[in-house]
Amino acid sequence: MITPGRTFLVCTILLSWAWLSGNAESHDLRAQPLDENGEPGLQISYKSGDREFIEIAGLKTDKLVHFQNSQRKGDLIALRTNLPSVENISSMFGRHEVVNGIVSFYPQFLLQAGIPYYLEIDAELLSASTNSLVYTFGLHKEDQEAVTEVAAVYPSASVLPSNLLKFYIHFSNPMSLGDVYSHIQLLDTNGKPLELPFLELGEELWDMESRRLTLLFDPGRIKRGLKPNLDEGAVLEEGKSYTLLVHDTMLDSKGRPLRKSFSKNFSVSSHDTVSPNLYNWKLSPPQVETRQPVTVIFPEPLDEALLQRVVSIVNEDGQEILGELSIESHETIWSLTPDEPWKSGTHRLKAQTILEDRAGNSIGRPFEVDSSRPSEHYPETKFVYLPFEVD
């Protein structure tokens, strides 16, 4: 066990630990005993290559017989992230092997750079020492330059409806998950952070690559008549200005902070309760045998992510036309430049009815359906179409 008298030595070793592990390129690090001398003849090394393991050489044969027959291998040779006396921490998961008088410990998981590891060898395995001995080593963590930044935020306009439902925050590299909401704030005109403006979900709403975060406003404050809405009102008030702030403390997937904080200033317009209506869209058909884009102009900005995914052009046979999609003018213009020249005939713009505007009103239904107005009709189909002729 570690005695209090060893504290100074531990500190010294921790201070010099980065230097000790500076030999990382060789993939062979000698662990240093916390006691001045350690066990004579005992050599403990971290090795990596095809596999990562800790090699313990120099244990006497009679001790190895005892070890090989023991059901407590993980107690006799334990790799830990803390000093054994400091925390009651179990040994790291892994497997022990004994080959040619050498014990190898294969950790189940790759070791983490930048933290110390401690290998404790029980006194039962030692000849000279009557106490357990601890050896320490660490993998050097390279200083990493902060390069990741917020690449885009949608909606991109600077005037947003008071019942805005979500932001999409795009990052230039994959990000770390787990505590995103502590790095993001919504500030009022005076720079004061609003309390809990967003729906904080432990699961967090990332895309597969962890490069885009969906930030939903607290729906309890958007939905009219609910207690949070009655008590506090909507998060955003018409006529006021706000700042979305993403702090540079947010970490990317390599553990680097952002290159700089990001802020988006915006002002707030009125409540948007109207669903997007296909018949208000202005479609400009292309000319046959050209690769002119087909362009659709919406009377209001629509949800950027859904515009990317649920709008397409199909030909008379229902085949999707391949091409380059472009979303411009603060998500009010959608266009497709085909890979191949247009053929004559009837084409159709095809949109899923889940396509939403910035306040969550979809083609299929408004965010809130007012049941006191039962005469309003919304399509019950999954798709809606806007035909146009190419000639």
Partner 1 sequence: MFKKKVSATIVALAIAALFCASAQAAHHKSSNSVKLTSSGSIAFGPDGILFVADQKAAKIYALHTGDTEVAAHAKTYKIKDIDAKVAGVLGVSADQVLINDLAVNPISHNVWLSVSRGKGEGAQPVILKVNPGAKISALDLNNIKHSQVAIPNAPEDKMSGSGRRAQNKRMSVVTDLGFVNDQVIIAGLSNEEFASNLRSIPFPFKKADEGSSVEIYHGNHGKYETHSPIRTFVPFDFGGDVHIVAAYTCTPLVTFPLSELKPKAHVMGKTIAELGNRNRPLDMVVYSKEGSDYLLMANSARGIMKVETLEFDTLPGIKEKVADKEGTKYTTIEGWQGIEQLDLLDSANALVLQKSESGALILLSLALP
Interface of this chain with partner 1, residues 327 to 346, rule: CB under 8 A: 327-328, 336, 339
CB of 299 to partner 1, least distance (A): 20
Structure tokens at 2: 């570690």
CB of 62 to partner 1, least distance (A): 30
CB of 189 to partner 1, least distance (A): 22
Residue 368 binds partner 1, judged by CB under 8 A: yes
CB of 209 to partner 1, least distance (A): 8
Closest to 104 (Cα-Cα) out of 39, 54, 35, 67: 54
CB of 261 to partner 1, least distance (A): 19
CB of 307 to partner 1, least distance (A): 9
Looking at the Cβ atoms of 65 and 274, the one nearer to partner 1 is 274
Q: Under rule CB under 8 A, which residues in 370-389 are in contact with partner 1?
A: 370-372, 382
H/E stretch holding 105: strand 102-107
Are the C-beta atoms of residues 294 and 285 closer than 8 Å to each other?
yes
319: CB partners within 8 A, 6+ apart: none
Q: Under rule CB under 8 A, which residues in 248-307 are in contact with partner 1?
A: 251-255, 303-306
Q: Under rule CB under 8 A, which residues in 50-79 are in contact with partner 1?
A: 79
Point out which span in 9-17, 32-40, 56-64, 225-233 binds partner 1 (CB under 8 A). Answer: 225-233
Rounded to whole angstroms, how far apart are CA atoms 390 and 345?
A: 5
Angle at 114 between CA 108 and CA 120, to 5 degrees: 55
Rounded to whole angstroms, how far apart are CA atoms 198 and 218?
A: 5
Residue among 283, 297, 354, 386 that touches partner 1 (CB under 8 A): 354
Residue 148 binds partner 1, judged by CB under 8 A: no
Which amino acid, one-letter code, is at 263? Answer: S
Residue appearing with tokens 């244990």: 59
Point out which span in 41-49, 56-64, 226-234, 283-291 binds partner 1 (CB under 8 A). Answer: 226-234
Looking at the Cβ atoms of 64 and 300, the one nearer to partner 1 is 300
Burial class for 209, CB neighbours closer than 10 Å (0-12, 13-18, 19+): exposed
H/E stretch holding 264: strand 262-269
CB of 112 to partner 1, least distance (A): 5
- Beta bridge partners, 47, equal 28, 53
Residue among 11, 147, 159, 226 that touches partner 1 (CB under 8 A): 226
Point out which span in 62-70, 90-98, 123-131, 133-141 binds partner 1 (CB under 8 A). Answer: 90-98
Residue among 67, 117, 266, 298 that touches partner 1 (CB under 8 A): 117
Are the C-beta atoms of residues 95 and 105 closer than 8 Å to each other?
yes
Distances (CA, A) of 303 to 231, 331, 373: 29, 7, 26
